[in-house]
Amino acid sequence: MPGRALLLVNSKARRGQEDLSQIRERLSSGGLELIEPRGESGDWSELIRRHHREADLIVLGGGDGTINRALGGLLEAQLPLGILPLGTANDLARTLALPSDPVAACEVILSGHIQRIDVGRVNDRPFLNVASVGLAVDVTRRLSQGAKSRWGVLAYLWAAIAALVRGHSFAVEICCDGERLRTRTWQVAVGNGRNYGGGLTIHQEARIDDGLLDLYSVEVQRGWHILLLIPALWRGALDPVHTVRTLRGTRFEIRPLRRPRNITADGELVGQTPAIFELKRQALSVYVPAPLENESQ
């Protein structure tokens, strides 16, 4: 697979300080000429804007937050993206069935199998996994880089429990396909991909290339009832649960009935409500494992 690859690695990601020599060696031996900007400041999107014309593909090492912050530049560059999962949750990598070992992820890139995936947008910010209003915002605020580095995915659990203890429900209006409903909820999540939050599933039928957004709203009476929902939230098996409202569509609007509420997307704080959630079909090319022969038939 000859070509030039713009290699960007977030050294602040959970595994970003690991020795990258094996990654460089494997990509180079696979025929890629690596372009690694040195000593440059700026965000990930800006680095991509400055250097994408020198490359045929982009290899990005980091977690979901790294990819989210690079997404603006990736969408402008329109180059295939290879992902090295070096973060804590790596939910996008899980959605795409990428191996957790970054050297094995190099093999996926070198195989050259590309998939076009959808990109969600909340107001003016693109996202890949899930954007949320409610408890997820408190979880994001409580997640420190040190906790994620030390505890990994378990840090999400401790942050979620702390957020639940101090959280409360709120009144909201949800609009979908011209219909409006008002309810009280603890969390509204809108997913473009399948996985989020360190392994939770937005919906068991969700795919990142299906042209649909999946919404759920947790409408329990008391916060501790959410603990009973963990198995269903983990599997995305929410449709039979009467305290969780699920909707599928291509556009949602969320309006709080009192004060504005913060929004998180792919683990990043991205703005406040009111929020419009939309979808851009097949907006990004990513390297994924080639389907098994019996799956492609």
What integer pLDDT is reported at residue 72 of this predicted model?
Answer: 96
User: What single-letter DSSP state applies at residue 221?
Assistant: S
Does the fold of domain 125-281 match that of domain 3-112?
no
CATH number of the domain at 3-112, please?
3.40.50.10330
Q: Which CATH class is domain 125-281?
A: mainly beta
Helix or strand or coil: residue 23? helix
Helix axes 154-166, 135-142, angle to 10 degrees: 120
CA distance 143 to 126: 22
Give the SS3 label for residue 219.
Answer: coil
The Cα–Cα gap between 102 and 296 comes to 25
Assign 275 to helix, strand or coil. strand
Q: What is the pLDDT of residues 14-67, one digit of tens each?
A: 677 888 999 999 999 999 999 999 866 668 999 999 999 999 999 999 999 999
The residues of the chain scoring below 70 in pLDDT are 1, 14, 39-42, 139-165, 167, 224, 292-297
With beta carbons less than 8 A apart as the criterion, state whether 113 and 82 touch.
Answer: no
Residue spans of the domains in the chain: they are 3-112, 125-281
pLDDT attached to residue 112: 95
* Cβ burial 6-40 (10 Å sphere, 16+ → b, else e): bbbbbeebbbbeeebeebbebbeebebeebeeeee
The first and second tokens of residue 183, run together, are 């309810």
